[in-house]
Amino acid sequence: MLWPQALNDYKYYLKIERGLSTNSVNNYEFDVLKLISYLERNVITSSPIKIDHEIIQGFIYEVSKSLNARSRARLISGLRSFFDYLIFEDYRETNPLDLIESPKIGRKLPDTLSIKDIDHLISAIDLTRTFNGVNIGERNRTILETLYSCGLRVSELINLKISDLFFDEGFIKVTGKGDKQRFVPINHTTQKLILIWMDIRKHMSIDAKYNDTLFLNNRGKQLTRAMIFTIIKNLAKAINLNKTISPHTFRHSFATHLLENGADLRSIQLMLGHESITTTEIYMHLDRSHLKDTLLKFHPRKDS
């Protein structure tokens, strides 16, 4: 078995058997491609069947020079998954990463924005700005409001469909990781902004492939993840915000602000689309006042 066949079969397995999203499949593929590149540079072997512990050790040592602990841990995890797949398909009997330890990493607390920061960012948008006749100012404001008010991942935002909007019921349908769908509440303010954008959108020349895609670029095609990052980066620069932020920062802020205002963790988990409640629990570390208030409110010795 050679690498092309192994990698193609693995990608098919990830998508069909495990139901992973395209982004996740691409990330797993990238891990394996890094290993293949190392093997080719060092003229080691053209077959994943012949990879042993020593080869993997040499590879990890080389990439460690350019990757931080978190990235190394993710790479090791991705490769371990690939060789587990080969064992599952009876191509190998052992996993060469079994004796490779992942680096110890702390649990990184997500960066968040204050409500004031978010207001400043959105206020900095030039609502009169057009490009090729498209009012991208209104579009950008709607994008940021949707990210923040619904707690979406950037991939969920750019793939949002018009047919996913259920404004009469007050929800939008979101397709998350592994193509899992969930319904997220959407407030009236954000609904109004989306309707304004949709009215602008009607006058655009739209690529037939993206007729149902909500947010489009000035050429009538789907926005890229990089474009959303650029919009946010430019706004942060415009207001001299001394933080490194991304679309995910709005998602973190959504969860943190809900928790601060009394929302329960289970509800936040459902809205974020976290498979495990432990993933959502990281926001408890951001709002220690919530823990204190809970103790003072519910503990039987609170008045002692």
Residue 159: closest CA among 225, 106, 113, 218: 225
141, 153, 201, 252: which is the annotated catalytic residue? Answer: 153
Task: Convert the pLDDT of each residue in 239-249 to its tens digit.
Answer: 999 888 889 99
Residue 177 annotated to the active site: yes
Asked if 63 contacts 103 with a C-beta cutoff of 8 angstroms, the reply is: no
Q: Which range, 63-67, 146-150, 175-179, is most confident?
A: 146-150
11, 53, 161, 248: which is the annotated catalytic residue? Answer: 248
80, 252, 274, 290: which is the annotated catalytic residue? Answer: 274
Residue 248 annotated to the active site: yes
**pLDDT average, residue stretch 240-268:** 87
Task: Convert the pLDDT of each residue in 87-139 to its tens digit.
Answer: 988 888 899 888 887 776 655 656 789 999 999 999 999 999 888 888 899 99
53, 177, 182, 219: which is the annotated catalytic residue? Answer: 177
Between CA 81 and CA 68 the distance in angstroms is 20
Residue 72 annotated to the active site: no
Measured from the Cβ of residue 107, the count of other Cβ atoms closer than 10 Å reads 7
Task: Return the CA Rg of the chain.
Answer: 23
Residue 129 annotated to the active site: no
Stated pTM of the model: 0.65
Tell me which of 164-168, 213-217, 242-246, 298-302 is least confident. Answer: 298-302
Quote the tokens at residue 16. 């069909």
Residues facing residue 184 across a β-bridge: 172
28, 85, 148, 283: which is the annotated catalytic residue? Answer: 283
Residue 283 annotated to the active site: yes
pLDDT at 72: 85
Residue 153 annotated to the active site: yes
Q: Which range, 16-20, 62-66, 72-76, 283-287, is most confident?
A: 72-76
139, 251, 257, 290: which is the annotated catalytic residue? Answer: 251
